[in-house]
A and B are shown apart, each in its own frame.
Chain A
Amino acid sequence: MCACRCGIRVHLRDEKIRFIEGNPDHPVNGGVLCAKGSAAIMKQYSPARLTGPLRRVGPRGSGEFEAISWDEALQTAVGWLAPLRRDDPRKLAFFTGRDQSQALTGWWASQFGTPNYAAHGGFCSVNMAAAGLYTTGFSFWEFGEPDWDRTKYLVMFGVAEDHGSNPLKIGLSKLKARGAKFVSVNPVRTGYSAVADQWIGIRPGTDGLLIFSLIRELLLADKVDFEFLSRYTNSGWLVVKNPGQADDGLFARDQDGDPLVWDKKSGAPVSAMAGTGEPALIGDYVLTDGRSVTPVFQLLAKRLLDPQYAPDAVAETTGISADVIRKLAADLAHVAFEQEITVATPWTDWTGKRHESFTGRPVSFHAMRGISAHANGFHTCRALHILQLLLGSVDCPGGFRSKPPYPKPIPPPNRPTGQKGTEQPLDGSPLGFPLCPEDLLIDQDGTPERIDKAYSWEAPLAAHGAMHNVIRNAWRGDPYPIDTLFLFMANMSWNSSMATAETIAMLEDRDESTGEYKIPHIIYSDAFNSEMVPYADLILPDTTFLERYDCISLLDRPISDRNGPADAVRQPVLKPDRDVRPFQDVLLDLGARLGLPGMVTDEGEPEYPGGFPDYIVNHERQPGIGLLAGWRGESGLEHGRGAPNENQLDAYIANGCYWSSKIPDDCQFYRGVNQGYLDYAVRMGFLGSAEPIIHQIYSEPLQRFRLAAQGHGDVQPPDAMRSRVETAFDPLPFWNDSTVTAGGDLPLHAITQRPMAMYHSWDGQNAWQRQIHGDNFLYVHHETAAGYGISDGDWVKVSSGHGQITVQVRLMDGVNRATVWTWNAIGKRAGAGNLSEDAPESNSGFLLNHLIPDQRSDPESDASYSNSDPVTGQAAWYDLRVQIEKVDAPADSKTQPQFAPLPTLPGQMTRPDVLAYGAEFRKPGDA
């Protein structure tokens, strides 16, 4: 398996890599391989690789280290961590940039007893994940995908050209070969947008408004799938209208707690879960207890039929003409309802009703970080799911389909768990999905329990944590100081933080009275010499991905596709030629040395002496459920559930390092309400029970938080936050311009796109990738530039009110006129990645991060919060607004700001002046 998730075949000659190619049988990539995967030879042999454990000896940031042994390194770590576990486990903050091993890393944090754990989703796309999991039970990218083989119309929103790289390209080429229409909504016309049948160059942050306008057009023309809404969504569920009271906005429920619908046949309320009623979607009703109620659909329609969402009314704000919006709505309606498709497989829904076929509405959507990384991103993502639900194109043939083990109950059943005490594991996973304020991780007085303030009133549904808040909060001791920051593959002193320069200063800052660093200990694990290395006190060098076992688990973020569940392993194909160890092995070793429960036997010996592969095979989360679903049981022939099988890894390797299973045909669609699928999912261990999963257009959990803000319940936000919470926790989606507050009312939006050749990476240390993308420019629409007197190649000062950068401009046509943008994944600090100090990555490349504040002030109070979505805590780095001004080219022709070059590390490899890799493979006589 490649560094992300594609299957690869690695060909070796004389213990060196001769060739890496896609595995033709692999479910993710079917034999193709991207530029980054193909360049993995140069990753494997990069001189930026760390060569052994290091301990800092100079001041932080100086880069002065000494080489130490692994035993010394691990004992040092244990020396810092053991007292924390004994006295106050939350003083360890453990955050991982790389998110592939959460089934281990999250468990490890739980066993240590700290709630302060997450991966990078908080600044990546938690809005996308959370909005989906609180609405449909699955989500874009990881847990759902377009039905590539059947869809006739795809609209892609804000895809930053990296996620799902190969599957997207494969899918798009299928669509285009079939003549299906592909529309891309993106401020920038590159990559996928370049091959779209229609490119809609939207103004950043206004996608929600466009979606509302589309919904309004559909509603006014009755182009809505009322049957789908009645049967499979909560459109008919009755919402209590009781303003000012504790039940206002909650669902009316019967004595069993089941939500009620108004049955048109009997003219009376009946349980929605009986499956017998014909729900009224509109109307105002009175229950026998005298309470007024209204169906969800009516509330939604009332909001979205408002003239403020008419195409003409949103055209200026979105930058999209009203005609384009009307045409897009008409297209969607036409394909969904006039080009309906049928899959003639009988199935039975959760109410017991037999259907002779699956109805397909072949309109599908895909979306990613572009709509997610805004402070209005959660509601925008939810709006997009609701558009799909109104069209009836969710989990149907040709629509947007789930990837098992999803859908999950809405939201998934695990709640976040906080610190239980000292020397004890948490009761569950640190991360989860709150249903109500009582699920928050806050103290009696409302103080956040987590260092990143996830699951506090600042970010109640922070399902991926909020890694981007950790350093500032730890630095200022808010909500409390920590002792050790343990990071894995997270370049927090460079590209992974907003306000990069300030973050560096916080890492270097000392307490004036004690002289100790504000964050006393920093442990860092990475395979490469990144910008974060000089800010660590202890370096635990990781292997490359070709030198270790890994596991992409159904418990985590699996490689499943729409046809069925799949998981995968990575096997080592090369032995490290350096004193480095797989991070997962190190974590288990540390766990054993610390005596963490589950990592030592009763006799105190390591539970997994074989390291991570031992854990992959033998660890059980519940009886019969482990990290891998394939080839379980003593026979090795059980899938899903089964006892550990000591030959499991061999079975995976023999099968190309993956396991996949196709779900029966009658379980392929409408999975959350398909009785056959629900029973299958319970058998496989994907679901705890076969209860139907009804799509939640109206979100009652959100309303519960809103009610708390309005003064109801035992757990309420502090007064200063009531208005913020009440506004953000609207049970129906709303739109606000979240970009204005981030950078003041500046004229231009500034965003980044990721080049495909740097898929999910900053691989400037790679000799081949850097020849494709070695520097970056600020791209500006030529007419916008003309207004500023800027020509191609001019230098500009870009200011945000938070910071400024000086960079060179390139003009282009395919960009929203109010938007400037640049590539990310390129700009490096001088010396990072063992590049020469005059490398273009540092001389001409740059980060937009210097402009992005990590805090934003609340317009209604004096308070300042993380620059994040108020629902999920998603970092709002696409909310950036800037102004630009032409300046003279800097005398040294370097972008500004520049930082002191990173010094040479002990054991750092020599970088060659000439690379002739592969010469040794040439056979004599070849020519």
Chain B
Amino acid sequence: MTSLPTQSTGKKLGLVIDLDTCVGCHACSVNCKEWNSGGHAAPLTDLEPYGANPDGVWFNRVHSFEVGEGDTGRTVYFPKSCLHCDEPACVTVCPTGASYKRVEDGIVLVDEDKCIGCKLCSWACPYGAREYDPTEGVMKKCTLCIDRIYNENLPEAERVPVCVSTCPASARHFGDLGDPNSEVSQLVASRGGVDLMPEMGYQPVNKYLPPRPKVTNDSVHLAAGLTPTAPDSAGKFLQWVDRLLSP
């Protein structure tokens, strides 16, 4: 079983995902797959890519479902990847030390050289964020684009996970959630960001921003609608004759 770091720098890199603007377009999923197919954990193998049961490794998947019915019903798009938990059971359950949580930034990674493909971590992760690559016999997962965020060959503005930079709806944000003054922490504070399944106790670093309250405009006018200034079509025309014809 693998130990978590006993010391911490306090840095907790992670994602903030805005459920208010996510339209379920899957741009994050595919750009992630694209970058990571040639990156740190390459390849992200696809079985039967042109066959009956295409099944590949994806670090980020978007789920869609409906909540409620009628006027209170809504359609929810829910992107989900590794949440880089503070208390990651996927790490503590690992028999070889392949799964580990980095001291310096809290990112949870897999050392493929040590991974024996036992899949205990995927059983332990309540979020289903682990992805087994059957051809390589190892577990893979979101790296927070570790090969980008520290990559000094990239302009500083581009040192973010690709799911963030590609999101057309600006629904994804990256930063240090251990720093209460960071932009992402401020965003979480101002929008009431939440943990996913906090009752499980894994203390995920990634946060989800709930949908903003619906803009209703109810406060600015009567919900009954506009007030006609004439009772009917004929009255309206008489009124316009008076009003609109005076030069």
Q: Contact residues of A with B, CB < 8 Å? A: 13, 18-22, 24, 29, 31-39, 41, 47, 165-166, 169-170, 172-173, 176-177, 179-182, 189-195, 197-198, 217-223, 226, 264-265, 278, 280-283, 298, 301-302, 305-307, 311, 323, 326-327, 329-331, 333-335, 338, 756-757, 765, 767-772, 774, 812-814, 833-836, 838-840, 843, 911-919, 921-922, 926-927
State the CA gap A22–B31 with chains docked (Å): 10
Stretch of B85-93, B118-126, B177-185, B224-232 lying at the A interface: B224-232
- B116 at interface (Cβ–Cβ under 8 A)? no
Is A169 in contact with B25, judged by CB distance below 8 angstroms?
Answer: yes
- Residue with the highest number of chain A CB atoms closer than 10 Å, among B38, B47, B162: B38
- B105 at interface (Cβ–Cβ under 8 A)? no
Known contacts A19-B38, A327-B223, A327-B225: does B45 contact A915 (CB below 8 Å)? yes
State the CA gap A915–B214 with chains docked (Å): 44
State the CA gap A843–B51 with chains docked (Å): 11
Q: Contact residues of B with A, CB < 8 Å? A: 20-27, 29-31, 33-40, 42-56, 58, 64, 66, 68-70, 73-77, 111-113, 135, 147, 157-158, 162, 165-171, 211-212, 214-217, 220-230, 232-233, 236-237, 240-241, 244-247
Q: Can you identify 12 A-B contacts, CB atoms within 8 angstroms? A: A24-B158, A33-B168, A170-B168, A218-B226, A326-B226, A338-B220, A757-B30, A768-B33, A769-B30, A771-B55, A838-B52, A922-B39
Is A39 in contact with B240, judged by CB distance below 8 angstroms?
Answer: no
Q: How far is the CB of B168 from chain A (nearest CB, A)?
A: 4
State the CA gap A84–B34 with chains docked (Å): 48
**Nearest CB in chain A to that of B112: its residue:** A927
Is A221 in contact with B76, judged by CB distance below 8 angstroms?
Answer: no
Known contacts A221-B228, A756-B24: does B165 contact A21 (CB below 8 Å)? yes
Q: Using Cβ atoms and an 8 Å threshold, which residues of chain B touch A265? A: 247
- Residue with the highest number of chain B CB atoms closer than 10 Å, among A13, A165, A180, A917: A917
State the CA gap A189–B138 with chains docked (Å): 39
Known contacts A338-B220, A756-B26, A836-B50: does B34 contact A41 (CB below 8 Å)? yes
Known contacts A190-B24, A813-B69: does B51 contact A166 (CB below 8 Å)? no
Q: Top 7 closest A-B pairs, CB basis?
A: A326-B225, A918-B37, A921-B38, A169-B168, A918-B38, A221-B226, A767-B49
Is B56 in contact with A283, judged by CB distance below 8 angstroms?
Answer: no
Q: Using Cβ atoms and an 8 Å threshold, which residues of chain A touch B158? A: 24
Known contacts A282-B244, A772-B29: does B215 contact A179 (CB below 8 Å)? yes
Q: Using Cβ atoms and an 8 Å threshold, which residues of chain A touch B44? A: 918
Which of these, B45, B135, B236, contacts A305 with CB under 8 Å? B236
Given contacts A165-B168, A190-B64, A927-B40, 13 further A-B contacts (CB under 8 A): A22-B165, A33-B31, A38-B30, A165-B25, A197-B214, A220-B229, A330-B223, A330-B225, A767-B54, A813-B73, A912-B50, A913-B48, A914-B47
Is A33 in contact with B27, judged by CB distance below 8 angstroms?
Answer: yes
Is A194 in contact with B24, judged by CB distance below 8 angstroms?
Answer: yes
Q: How far is the CB of B181 from chain A (nearest CB, A)?
A: 21
Is B214 in contact with A917, judged by CB distance below 8 angstroms?
Answer: no
State the CA gap A34–B25 with chains docked (Å): 7
Is B229 in contact with A222, judged by CB distance below 8 angstroms?
Answer: yes
B contact patch SS: loop
State the CA gap A311–B226 with chains docked (Å): 12
Q: Using Cβ atoms and an 8 Å threshold, which residues of chain B touch A913? A: 47-48, 51
Q: How far is the CB of A276 from chain B (nearest CB, A)?
A: 13
Q: Using Cβ atoms and an 8 Å threshold, which residues of chain B touch A197? A: 214-216
State the CA gap A24–B33 with chains docked (Å): 20
Known contacts A21-B162, A31-B165, A217-B226: does B21 contact A181 (CB below 8 Å)? no
Which of these, B48, B170, B217, B233, contacts A331 with CB under 8 Å? B217
Is A38 in contact with B52, judged by CB distance below 8 angstroms?
Answer: no
Which of these, A21, A41, A283, A814, contacts B241 with CB under 8 Å? A283
**Nearest CB in chain A to that of B170: its residue:** A173
Known contacts A197-B216, A333-B226, A334-B217: does B168 contact A770 (CB below 8 Å)? no
Q: Using Cβ atoms and an 8 Å threshold, which residues of chain A touch B214? A: 197-198
State the CA gap A814–B21 with chains docked (Å): 18
- Residue with the highest number of chain A CB atoms closer than 10 Å, among B42, B76, B228: B42
State the CA gap A306–B237 with chains docked (Å): 12
Q: Using Cβ atoms and an 8 Å threshold, which residues of chain A touch B21? A: 172-173, 176-177, 195
Is B30 in contact with A835, judged by CB distance below 8 angstroms?
Answer: no
Which of these, A32, A221, A926, contacts B42 with CB under 8 Å? A926
Known contacts A29-B168, A32-B168, A926-B42: does B226 contact A223 (CB below 8 Å)? yes
Is A166 in contact with B168, judged by CB distance below 8 angstroms?
Answer: yes
Q: How far is the CB of A728 from chain B (nearest CB, A)?
A: 26
State the CA gap A166–B26 with chains docked (Å): 12
Which of these, B77, B147, B226, contacts A194 with CB under 8 Å? B77
**Nearest CB in chain B to that of A222: its residue:** B229
State the CA gap A338–B162 with chains docked (Å): 42
Known contacts A13-B38, A813-B73: does B212 contact A176 (CB below 8 Å)? yes
Q: Using Cβ atoms and an 8 Å threshold, which residues of chain B touch A198? A: 214
Is B30 in contact with A305, judged by CB distance below 8 angstroms?
Answer: no
Is B226 in contact with A282, judged by CB distance below 8 angstroms?
Answer: no
Q: How far is the CB of A816 from chain B (nearest CB, A)?
A: 13
State the CA gap A635–B141 with chains docked (Å): 53
Q: Using Cβ atoms and an 8 Å threshold, which residues of chain A touch B58? A: 771
Known contacts A282-B237, A835-B50: does B226 contact A189 (CB below 8 Å)? no
State the CA gap A444–B212 with chains docked (Å): 63
State the CA gap A198–B213 with chains docked (Å): 11
Known contacts A31-B165, A330-B225: does B43 contact A834 (CB below 8 Å)? no
Is A329 in contact with B226, judged by CB distance below 8 angstroms?
Answer: yes
Q: Using Cβ atoms and an 8 Å threshold, which residues of chain B touch A193? A: 75
Q: Using Cβ atoms and an 8 Å threshold, which residues of chain A touch B30? A: 35-36, 38-39, 757, 768-769, 772
Q: How far is the CB of B152 from chain A (nearest CB, A)?
A: 16
Known contacts A220-B230, A926-B42: does B70 contact A813 (CB below 8 Å)? yes
State the CA gap A36–B21 with chains docked (Å): 19
Is A915 in contact with B233, judged by CB distance below 8 angstroms?
Answer: no
Q: How far is the CB of B188 from chain A (nearest CB, A)?
A: 16
